[in-house]
């Protein structure tokens, strides 16, 4: 029912956009169709409106629940976006590890596809899922370069796209594989260190701000209460 409803109200450009989001979330359109997502948005918003209207029979004040209807409409998108962010964070966080495995695999293997699969299985998680799809498409007869480009577009992580560009150069132009991959892995490790340092710096600032709040509240109470008490007494 949700799928049929979604198919009625879903425009073609929205269908394409939702299909891309579904793929980026690690799902397939067979598992969750764009029409189902759109139908869920309409159904959730409609359910909140009906529920609010029903309760308004008891008291008109329940009509305030209508303000949650837009939230109901947005919930499926929020769910998809959260899954996408989680996958992208995992791709980013494990990129240095994958690059290191891949640089080692390329030394012992002449076949790029075998090296990618072995490295992806060693890392696991999102990498395993993405490169299993790469292997399926490659074995179905697609050019490896085209498959890798599609993977980079689907993942939509800048550093991962840089890795894919390097892999395509290695595959198409015969660039020295192991040395280039080792350099890339080192660069990713350095970048990860800087990101950790940046996060630690931000956390320190937040802790200082929280400490200041806890220090100021008692201070203001000690200074402000006597003044407030004196003013009350004077009145």
Q: Is 101 in the same domain as 186?
A: yes
For residue 9, is pLDDT > 80? Answer: no
Q: How confident is the model at residue 197 (pLDDT cuts 50, 70, 90)?
A: low
Residue 19's contacts (CB-CB under 8 Å, 6 or more residues apart) are 29, 34
How much is the average pLDDT of 66-82? 89
Cα separation of 121 and 116, whole Å?
Answer: 9
Among 73, 92, 111, the domain boundary falls at 92
Q: Is 33 in the same domain as 106?
A: no
Q: Is 165 in the same domain as 104?
A: yes
Residue 28: inside a domain, yes or no? yes
Residue 179: inside a domain, yes or no? yes
Residue 216: inside a domain, yes or no? no
Q: Is 7 in the same domain as 85?
A: yes
Residue 153: inside a domain, yes or no? yes
**Domain that residue 164 falls in:** 97-190
The CA radius of gyration of the chain, in Å to the nearest whole number, is: 27
Count other Cβ atoms within 10 Å, centred on residue 116: 27
Cα separation of 47 and 68, whole Å?
Answer: 10
Among 153, 170, 190, the domain boundary falls at 190
Residue 221: inside a domain, yes or no? no
Residue pair 41/26 in contact (Cβ under 8 Å)? The answer is no
Report the chain's mean pLDDT, rounded to a whole number: 79
Cα separation of 180 and 175, whole Å?
Answer: 8
Q: Is 68 in the same domain as 145?
A: no
Its pTM stands at 0.69
Higher pLDDT, 191 or 105: 105
For residue 229, is pLDDT > 60? Answer: no
Residue 75: inside a domain, yes or no? yes
Q: Is 123 in the same domain as 81?
A: no
Q: Is 69 in the same domain as 85?
A: yes
Provide the domain count of the chain.
Answer: 2
Residue 130: inside a domain, yes or no? yes
Residue 210: inside a domain, yes or no? no
Q: What is the DSSP letter of 157?
A: -
């Amino acid at each position: 029912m949700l799928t049929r409803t979604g198919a009625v109200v879903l425009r073609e450009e929205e269908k394409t956009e939702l299909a891309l989001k579904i793929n980026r979330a690690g799902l397939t359109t067979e598992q969750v169709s764009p029409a189902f997502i759109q139908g869920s948005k309409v159904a959730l918003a409609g359910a909140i409106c009906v529920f609010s209207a029903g309760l308004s029979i008891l008291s008109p004040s329940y009509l305030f629940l209508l303000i949650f209807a837009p939230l109901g409409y947005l919930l499926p998108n929020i769910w998809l976006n959260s899954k996408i962010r989680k996958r992208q964070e995992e791709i980013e966080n494990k990129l240095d590890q994958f690059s290191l495995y891949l640089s080692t695999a390329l030394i012992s293997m002449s076949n790029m596809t075998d090296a990618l699969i072995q490295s992806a299985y060693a890392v696991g998680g999102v990498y395993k899922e993405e490169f299993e799809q790469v292997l399926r498409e490659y074995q179905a007869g697609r050019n490896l370069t085209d498959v890798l480009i599609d993977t980079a577009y689907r993942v939509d992580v800048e550093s991962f796209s840089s890795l894919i560009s390097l892999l395509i150069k290695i595959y198409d132009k015969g660039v020295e594989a192991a040395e280039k991959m080792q350099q890339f892995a080192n660069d990713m490790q350095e970048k990860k260190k800087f990101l950790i340092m940046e996060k630690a710096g931000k956390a320190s600032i937040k802790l200082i701000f929280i400490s200041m709040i806890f220090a100021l509240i008692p201070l203001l109470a000690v200074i402000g209460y006597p003044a407030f008490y004196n003013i009350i007494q004077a009145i």
